[in-house]
Amino acid sequence: MSGPAHRASARGSRRVRAGSEPGTEEQPRDPLADPSLYLNRELSQLEFNFRVLAQAQDPSVPLLERLRFLCISCTNLDEFFEIRVAAVRHAVEYGLPAAADGRAPATALREIHKRASDLVAGQYECWNRDLRPALAEAGIRIIGRADWTARHKRWLRAYFHNEVMPVLSPVGLDPAHPFPRILNKSLNVVVVLSGRDAFGRVGNLAIVRAPRSLPRIIQLPPHVSGGEHDFVFLSAVLSEFVHELFPGMTVKGAYQFRVTRNSELVMDEEEVENLAMALRDELAGRGYQRPIRLEIAADCPRPIVRTLLQNFDLPDNAVYRIDGPVNLSRVIQVYDLVQEPDLKYPAFQPRQLPGSDAMFELISHGDVLLHHPFDAFTPVLELVRQAAEDPNVLAIKQTLYRTGKDSPLVEHLVQAARNGKDVTVVVELLARFDEEANLGLAGRLQEAGVQVVYGVVGFKTHAKMMLIVRREGRRLRRYVHIGTGNYHPGNARAYTDLGLMTAHPGIGSDMHQIFMQLSGLAPAIELNHLLQSPFSLHPGVLARIEREAAHALAGRPARIVAKMNALNEPQVIRALYAASQAGVRIDLFVRGACTLCPQVPGVSENIRVFSIVGRFLEHHRVYWFGNDGRPELFGASADWLERNLLRRVETAFPILDPAVGRRVHAEVLDNYLADNVDAWELQPDGSYERRTPGDGEEPHSAQMWLLARLCG
């Protein structure tokens, strides 16, 4: 981004159009809508993956954790192409207008492919130059074909014949066998042939798809290889023995490839009569939607690449030539198979909540904050379990976005229904990539007598909340759990999130109204404590930012600190720019994509943006507004994205208990502001610079500080 100095020069001016009639004027243009003040969302999201890759490149990170970060950067990139790049290509094809950053979709797509190519090159350089040799030195060998011994080949040939070949179905390309449908992200080998087969057909090309039922990484027995942790890629086995699939013909070359397809579901929710049935039909075809990217072996001849491009209708810049396995993310199996504690992060035990054997009594005495993964998720499960067994509990209402396979929380909800409780669960069927699991979950809950609803057509239910109604004497009391993360025990071990348990009557009343709205046909409601999108959350955030600006203009203290996963909502960004111009100091923690441009003179010089990338995935959303010494603090399920603020059902909940507020301030806001190890600062041009300790400054990692403080 260049030339920021001009950006505030014409603020508020009105210009007469050249050659126009007297009195005819252009409408005043909002200078804070200038495209040069906005970064591109997709390019910003790519930058996040460079920060993840940096963890893989960092020798101070345990070796197998570096491998895990490399795999995460690869799977993130897959999803990026499946969703974000697919959306940009759709915008190109349908002539959609430029985004807030002013880039035409075609321009954005070219820049995305260029930057993504840099990322892929960095991933394979990290694998080939750094990680693979370091793993070998640690006794974990990924053995390539060039290094196979005669013993390796004998064992692998037997493996090929016994385990692989029986489930292969090679397809030779001829008029009777057109190019086969290639499943999204499946491993394939294109084989170049010569000669004639038993029917006299002339060989040319064949496609061999790797069986999805087989592991992509094969562990060699110690008696074959001599090492306990020796592995071979399935793709290497296919390439080595593929000639045995074509007896009597000559294999002139075999090249692995993989195609990534659009994975966004495109059904019109408002036009379907049964969302669950329509979703099942849509999922059946997801793996064969529009191709977006082609990965292929670096040595594949250009004519073969052209053939594949023509078949998939892809441009040249959508080809990624790969110096290694095209499914590098599958190396994560090595992380799972090798149990070497010295090569991984030290194990930790989350802090247990005292008194969790009597959750209702505990919550009735005051609000309870859980800070995951440092605090255990078990109190949430205990709350549901105890509610299922408590004869005084009348009803449980719950939202489920992601839960994980065989979740104990689901078991407790099922048991509650069997025990005669009135259990209502809002299942979000369209939780991306969890749609099939959630369909099964919904069916299982319904079979147990749970009332399952699918939320609101056109608005994903992304809020994380649970409401329990309990009879206590002559009154009914509401107990609430509301959080920033999903009800997924696995995520609670890997993601940073906040969960609040409270019996606050006002919060309970607000949540009751939201559940009534989700399960019925209720009108817009006025809440007293919670903020809810798509109604009060967006205007509520804007109003609080504008209030800080008014405080600053009046000479009063003004401050904003907010933490989230992504930021792109233009009205919020303009409000932040205006607050910065008014003198409000603003610190934002945005883990991933951020389209706000910080540190622009005259516009955003009072705004700093940081991204924390460390052992745990940063996931909690926290908003703090100074409000002239009467601060407001919220936890939320929503990022400051257009989709979260305008097109989803989300909640932001106030932290009303002063002791809980002090804890959130210390553990999240102050702690993360002090991070000079895992923090990256966003620059005006969209790049990031890693923070390092200054002279005389002690290193401080926010996540490691929390581990030591809460789990030590």
CA distance 449 to 699: 54
Q: What integer best gives the mean pLDDT of the chain?
A: 91
Which is nearest to 519 in space by CA: 470, 441, 461? 461
- 15 pLDDT above the threshold of 50: no
- 1 pLDDT above the threshold of 50: no
- 632 pLDDT above the threshold of 60: yes
The burial class, CB within 10 Å (0-12 / 13-18 / 19+), for 561 is buried
CA distance 482 to 140: 44
Chain centre to alpha carbon of residue 46:
12
Percent of the chain with pLDDT over 90: 80
Element spanning 87, H or E:
helix 86-93
Arithmetic mean of pLDDT, 466-482? 97
Q: Which residue has the higher pLDDT, 226 or 39?
A: 39
**pLDDT, position 10:** 33
Least confident of 27-36, 40-49, 252-261, 662-671: 27-36
- 175 pLDDT above the threshold of 80: no
**pLDDT, position 593:** 97
Arithmetic mean of pLDDT, 641-670? 97
CA distance 173 to 674: 61
**pLDDT, position 454:** 86
Q: Does the domain made of 532-711 have the CATH classification 3.90.180.10?
A: no
Arithmetic mean of pLDDT, 108-137? 97
Do residues 280 and 439 touch, judged by C-beta distance below 8 A?
yes
Confidence class of residue 8 from pLDDT cuts 50, 70 and 90? very low
Arithmetic mean of pLDDT, 51-65? 98
Do residues 684 and 598 touch, judged by C-beta distance below 8 A?
yes
CA distances from 103 to 2, 40, 114, 375, 695 (A): 14, 8, 15, 44, 41
**pLDDT, position 319:** 97
CA distance 425 to 416: 12
Q: Does the domain made of 356-529 have the CATH classification 3.30.870.10?
A: yes
**pLDDT, position 127:** 98
Arithmetic mean of pLDDT, 662-690? 97
Least confident of 363-372, 424-433, 473-482: 424-433
CA distance 385 to 360: 11
Partners of 368 in the beta sheet? Answer: 501
**pLDDT, position 406:** 81
**pLDDT, position 269:** 46
**pLDDT, position 209:** 93
**pLDDT, position 270:** 46
Percent of the chain with pLDDT over 70: 90
Is 619 known to be catalytic? no
**pLDDT, position 17:** 37
Arithmetic mean of pLDDT, 228-240? 94
Q: What is the pLDDT of residues 399-425, one digit of tens each?
A: 998 887 788 999 999 999 999 999 999
Catalytic residue (choose from 113, 462, 538, 620):
462
Listed by start position, the domains of the chain span 145-267+291-338, 356-529, 532-711
Comparing 356-529 with 532-711, is the CATH topology the same? yes
The torsion defined by the Cα of 141, 146, 150 and 156, in degrees rounded to 10, comes to: 70
- 588 pLDDT above the threshold of 80: yes
- 26 pLDDT above the threshold of 60: no
Arithmetic mean of pLDDT, 536-544? 98
**pLDDT, position 314:** 95
CA distance 187 to 213: 12
**pLDDT, position 581:** 98
**pLDDT, position 4:** 38
> Which is the CATH superfamily of the domain at 145-267+291-338?
Polyphosphate kinase middle domain (3.30.1840.10)
**pLDDT, position 275:** 56
CA distance 582 to 603: 9
Least confident of 2-16, 215-229, 459-473: 2-16
**pLDDT, position 685:** 95
CA distance 87 to 388: 43
**pLDDT, position 367:** 98
Dihedral of alpha carbons 653, 657, 658, 664, sign? negative
**pLDDT, position 227:** 87
**pLDDT, position 411:** 94
Arithmetic mean of pLDDT, 69-84? 96
Which is nearest to 343 in space by CA: 137, 52, 53, 496? 137
Confidence class of residue 276 from pLDDT cuts 50, 70 and 90? low
Least confident of 239-243, 264-268, 599-603, 687-691: 264-268
- 268 pLDDT above the threshold of 60: no
Q: What is the pLDDT of residues 326-348, one digit of tens each?
A: 989 999 999 999 999 999 999 99
CA distances from 272 to 275, 284, 429 (A): 6, 16, 14
Do residues 181 and 187 touch, judged by C-beta distance below 8 A?
no
The length of the chain, given as a count of residues: 712
**pLDDT, position 266:** 56
Arithmetic mean of pLDDT, 566-576? 98
CA distance 100 to 117: 24
**pLDDT, position 441:** 86
**pLDDT, position 172:** 83
